[in-house]
Each structure stands twice: as structure tokens, then as C-alpha cells.
Amino acid sequence: MKRLPRLARRLLSARVLCVALLAALLSLRVADPGPVQELRLQGFDLLQRLYPRDAAERPVVIVDIDERSLRELGQWPWPRTLVADLIARLHDLGAATIAFDVLFAEPDRLSPALAVDAFRNLDDDTRNRLRALPSNDQVMAQAMQGAKVVLGESGIATPAPQPQTERPAIGLATLGADPKPFLFTFPGLLRSIPTLDEAAAGRGLLNIRTERDGIVRRVPMVMLAQGQIMPSLTFEMLRVVAGASTILIHTDDVGIRSVAIPQFEIPTDRNGQLWIHFAPHDQARYVSAVDVIKGRVDPNRFAQRLVLVSTSAAGLLDLKTTPIDPVMPGVEVHAQVLENLLGGAILSSPNYALGAELFVAFVFGVAIIWLAPILGPALLLAFGAAFVAFLLGTSWVLFTQQKLLIDVTFPLLSSLLVYLTLVFANFVKEQHQRRQIRSAFGQYLSPALVAQLAQSPEKLVLGGEQRDMTIMFSDVRGFTTISEVYKDDPQGLTALMNSFLTPLTNAIIDRKGTIDKYMGDAIMAFWNDHGVLERAALRPHARIERLRGRARHA
């Protein structure tokens, strides 16, 4: 434990750097730019791929206007009289509600009064009789009167003229702050024609919002279109089936918490979106529209089911990408939303998730900054592995058992960046210390001892240590007389001393000795090993003898 204060002082600058980095990362998470969002969403996608929803129950049936239906009944759009037959047939089969994932924004051009002008060679009596017939839109509206039909509408990018006719208003109640600032907003609204609009039991927006990467993960339950708060198609279907007249939106300071109808509450994100727990695409959800119209379906197939009418025909299909399917019809996304809501598989990323993610990132970031200098590599690795296992395991349990989406990618990434920064700062500092040691001692110690000190700087203890040492003194006999001989040739004296001192210096360093000082013609050196004295002394002596030999021959 005596090493702790010294290590803390040595790594203070690295710790300050890591604390600043951690603060910057937490601020980045609060700002939540696009790349951070995408990283989080990729983590949620992985959970869905590992644990897709099991769609054992099928409360929703998709009536598909497919290629076979078009071949047998004609091209789309069909006459509204044919759509009326489809509605009547579904109602007779016991459908709880029928929703159209298609728009009826214009009158049917095949209505008798509109089509008569396109016929030639008709007498006036026939023309008048055709004009007197009900329009196809009126026929469809009449079929809708006996069934609970929800019409699709669409939020659009530009304001659109709205019909002057009144339609039944949906009650809207709010608990908390005004939800409008948090809702996805469309400047315009594309509605059905008044004849159909007035006969509908409900109206909902078809819009499915994709994320930045084009993948559908969330669907808004309520939106703001041309100044009106409107439910989605699926939420409106639930309202109609439940017979509710009011929608409740619950908000807090962060955003929207939930949307509800009596006895049924849907948790959402701050923008009123529902996270979808996807099941794989399954063709068993679909029934061909022509089979319904011609009575070629099991009568029990639609009893008390929610029915979505849409099209998968080429050129008409609305394709989406989900976390587990690269291609899925948009109507099936609506169907899976209803399966989530009715099957109790509602995912949620609560508004407190951000606080939880920031808290975890802060706690583990600080733990790494504090423990990294204390723990050895093995313990630090074990701590990191336990941290990763804890986060991943917690995220998995919350997802599979509680249907909660809590992001672990950011705490993992922030902790990794803090750790790597700490390691890099320590590496740079150690390299600097080693260069300083080599520079300070390289001229006096053997390379082996310098390398040993560079690898273990803690051996440099302030104030020194008490050791038994072997000390060697060496000087030149008769140096004063020799100096007088070279009084007119100082360069020669310098060369002579270098020729003497250099071999002795090399011999001492080769034997791992430490040169304490040069004293004119003398050298003082020492060793920590007594047994090395004889070997250390003989080698300089041998080099001196060789030097004398060269001097005699000179």
C-alpha cells in the first residue's frame, strides 16, 4: 500500500485527462448526435435478432390485394362497389374492425355519373338513368355503415385544402405538459373524400417513420398533421374496437410517456413512438382478397379478428426494412404493431433510460480511472470482463423478461475509451521516463544497468539505499612528471589521457560497474557484487598492459 501515493502522483495527469474525457463523453450522450443514436439502435437490433418475438397468436389478418386478385378482378384501383363487397363479406365473417392501408382521397371515376360521359352512342334517357344511380362512393359508404371501418389518412409535407364537412371529433385529454412540441409534425393532411370520411368509424395516419439508416424500429402512436393531433392507424383501430371516445396522452418534462384509451395504456418514447418487437415475416398472416370476395376462405379465419386491407401487387407494394427482415410490406409492420399491443409484447425505452445510461457510464468510468493504477493487468482484465458480462447480462434480462430497452453500447464504449486513454497516457509517460533515465545515466552505467533502471524506474529511490559495495580507484603513476613532459603539447596530453581512460571506462562498464567520477587522471568506480571485484580489476589491468606495450613500440 506504500506504493499507492507514489503511483497516484505519477498518474495524476493521466487521471485528469481521463476525467475530462469522461465528462466530454457524457455531454456527447446528452446531446445525442446521429452517430450515437445509430450505435444505440444497432445494439437494440442485435437484441431483436437474438430474441425475435414468437408470433404464436394471430389477432390480425391481412387481406392482400395481390397479383392473383388483380388477375381475377381487374386492375387497381377497383370500383368502390367491389371494395364495398369486400367490406360486406368481411363483416359477415365476423371481423372486429376493418382498416384500409390505402387512401381514398379522390372520388371513384368509375361511378355511373362520372363514367357516363366517357360512353358513346348512349341515348339521353340512358344517360339520365345512369346519372340518377348512386355513386360507387355512396355504395361503399353504405357498406361501411354496418361495419367498424377505419380509413387511412396520410401526413404530407405541404398543407392541403381540407373539406368543409364536419366529422365526429375524437376526444383528446392530456395529463402533464402540452404534447405538441414532442410529436412528429406534418404540415399537411391527406384525407378521404367526405362521403367515405363521414361513414367511417375511425381515421388514422398511415405514416411509418424510418430511422436515419432506413430501418423501421418505432412507429408513432400519435402525430400532429395540419395542426390536428391524430392517432396512428393501429391505435385508432384499438380505439374503435374498444368503443372509446377519448385518447389520453401522458407527458412529463422529458416528453411523452404513454398514450392510452380506457383500460389500455401504451408506453412510448418521448416522441410518442412505440418500439416494435418484431417477429419474422410470415406469409400465414395474409389472405388473398379475391378468396375473401368469392367465399373461398375458412369462415373462422376472420372471427373477432382485426383486419388490415392492403396490397402486395408489383408497383403498389410499400416495402420496409426491419431489424430482422431486409424486406417487409408496410402493412405487415402495422400488423406486428397490433400483435405487440394485443399480445402483451410491448417494448419500451422509458424516459429514465438516459439517466440510467449516464449513471452507469459515470460509475464505471470513475472506477476504471481509480483502479487502473492499483490493479495489476490480470485483475484489471478480470474486472473489465466482469463489467462487460454484467452490462450485457443486465441488458439481456431486461429485454427478454421486462421488455425494456436500456442501452449498454454507450457505457461500454465510454469505459473502453477512458481505459485506452489511460493506457496510452501511461505508455507515453513511461517512455519519457525511460528516455530521461537513459540520458542521465547512459554515460556512467553499463547499458544493462541503464536498461534495468529504465524498465523499473521505482528502483531510483530518493535519498539512496544502504548497500555493501566494492569500490575501485585507479590513477596514473607519476602523472605530474608526465604532465611536465607535455607542457608544450597539451593536445598530446589530452590524447594520452583519453587513450588511458577510454579503455578503462569500457572495461568497467563491460563488467557492469558504475563510474562514480573522474578525478583528473583517476577513476572511481563501484560494484554491488563483491565477487566481481577480481574479474573487474583484471580486465582494466590487462588493457593497461596492452596500452604500455603500444607505448613502448611508439
Q: For residues 285-313, give the mean pLDDT.
A: 92
Residue 442's pLDDT band (cuts 50, 70, 90): low
Give the fold, CATH level 3, of 466-553.
Answer: Alpha-Beta Plaits (3.30.70)
Q: Is the pLDDT of residue 95 over 90?
A: yes
H and E: helices and strands count for the chain: 19, 21
Task: Give the dihedral sign, CA 406/408/410/411.
Answer: positive
Q: What is the pLDDT of residue 233?
A: 96
The DSSP letter of residue 448 is H
Q: What is the pLDDT of residue 451?
A: 64
Q: Is the pLDDT of residue 453 over 70?
A: no
Q: What is the pLDDT of residue 553?
A: 47
Q: How many residues does the chain have?
A: 554
Q: How does DSSP assign 193-231, residue by residue?
A: -HHHHHH-SEEEE------TTSB--EEESEEEETTEEEE
CA nearest neighbour of 188 among 218, 219, 217, 154: 154
Q: For residues 310-335, give the mean pLDDT.
A: 86
The cell for 202 is: 375511425
Q: Is 525:549 a contact under the CB 8 Å cutoff?
A: no
The DSSP letter of residue 374 is T
The DSSP letter of residue 413 is H
Q: Find out whether the peptide bond into 267 is cis, omega within 30 degrees of 0.
A: no
Q: Is the pLDDT of residue 60 over 80?
A: yes
Mean pLDDT score across all residues of the chain = 83
Helix (H) or strand (E) holding 61: strand 60-65
d(CA 144, CA 199): 6
Q: Is 537:472 a contact under the CB 8 Å cutoff?
A: yes
Q: Is the pLDDT of residue 12 over 60?
A: no
Q: What is the pLDDT of residues 473-514, one digit of tens each?
A: 777 777 777 777 777 777 877 777 777 778 778 777 777 777
Q: For residues 402-406, give the mean pLDDT.
A: 88
Residue 98's pLDDT band (cuts 50, 70, 90): very high
Residue 336's pLDDT band (cuts 50, 70, 90): very high
User: What Rg value do the Cα atoms of the chain yield, rounded?
Assistant: 43
CA nearest neighbour of 214 among 128, 319, 134, 285: 319
Q: What is the pLDDT of residue 463?
A: 57
d(CA 390, CA 231): 39
Q: What is the pLDDT of residues 232-281, one digit of tens each?
A: 999 999 999 999 989 999 998 889 999 999 888 999 998 999 999 999 99
Top pLDDT among 49 and 432 is at 49
The gap between the terminal CA atoms of the chain, to the nearest Å, is 64
d(CA 155, CA 214): 19
Question: What is the widest separation between alpha-carbon atoms in the chain?
Answer: 150
Side-chain-facing half-sphere of 37: CA atoms under 13 Å: 9
d(CA 505, CA 445): 10
Top pLDDT among 410 and 521 is at 410
Q: What is the pLDDT of residue 7?
A: 46
Q: What is the pLDDT of residues 122-176, one digit of tens each?
A: 777 878 887 888 899 999 999 998 899 999 999 998 988 877 777 667 788 999 9
Q: For residues 29-49, give the mean pLDDT.
A: 89
d(CA 421, CA 178): 44
pTM of the predicted model, to two decimals? 0.73
Residue 406's pLDDT band (cuts 50, 70, 90): confident
Q: What is the pLDDT of residue 549?
A: 54
d(CA 457, CA 432): 11
- Domains of the chain, residue spans: 3-46+353-438, 54-155+170-343, 466-553
- Residue 428 burial (CB count, 10 A): 12
Q: Which residues is 175 bridged to in the sheet?
A: 250
Q: Is the pLDDT of residue 293 over 80?
A: yes
Q: What is the pLDDT of residues 503-546, one digit of tens each?
A: 778 777 777 777 878 877 788 887 776 655 555 555 555 556 66
Top pLDDT among 194 and 438 is at 194
d(CA 448, CA 451): 5
Residue 448: partners with Cβ closer than 8 Å, 6 or more residues away: 512
